Amino acid sequence: MTGECIPFCVALSELFPQYQIAVINDEYDDVDEDAEYNYNFVHAFCYHKNNDKIIIDARGIRKLSDLYEDFFSNTII
């Protein structure tokens, strides 16, 4: 499943406004001083403002640490 995270998050937040949309970005290795931004979009997910350790994305409900493990295997939270 690829490319479905943004539409999922938009739909979820429209149905349940208490869920906020967040994204994971990765910084480009080659920094261009003239570029407007130096980030690459990685993933979108939603979180409830009262519990930001549990997230919901196109794969289901899971822990934020599991999400980071999926996308950044060397990240420790």
Residue linked to tokens 């993933």: 43
Rounded Cα distance between 2 and 24, Å, is 15
Q: Which two tokens stand for residue 69?
A: 């493990």
Predicted TM-score of the model (pTM): 0.75
Summarize the confidence of residues 20-47 as an average pLDDT.
Answer: 79
Please give the pLDDT value at position 71: 80
Please give the pLDDT value at position 74: 56
Q: Where are the domains of the chain?
A: 5-71
Residue 38 reports pLDDT greater than 80:
no
